[in-house]
Amino acid sequence: MARDSCMARVAAGVAVGGAVGGAVGAVYGTYEAIRYRVPGLLKIRHIGKTTLGSAGIFGLFLGAGSLIHCGKSY
């Protein structure tokens, strides 16, 4: 039962990290695309790449943090 609980916590950490990272990446990607005057439809690609990259990194770190905390008992 403790293992299922730990995996659920890690999955929740990855999901929350992905959501937060995606939101931050979308805002930052939009800002960058406007600031550097990315032409036409390349803006969509730039914002998408920034969003997915940021979501992946945030999700990875929050999932790893959740995994580390699973082994600790308070």
pLDDT at 8: 93
Q: In this structure, what DSSP letter does residue 38 have?
A: -
Rounded to the nearest 10 degrees, the angle between the axes of helix 42-70 and helix 2-35 is 150
Domain residue ranges in the chain: 2-67
11-32, pLDDT tens digit by residue? 999 999 999 999 999 999 999 9
* pLDDT tops 70 at residue 4: no
DSSP class of residue 37 equals: T
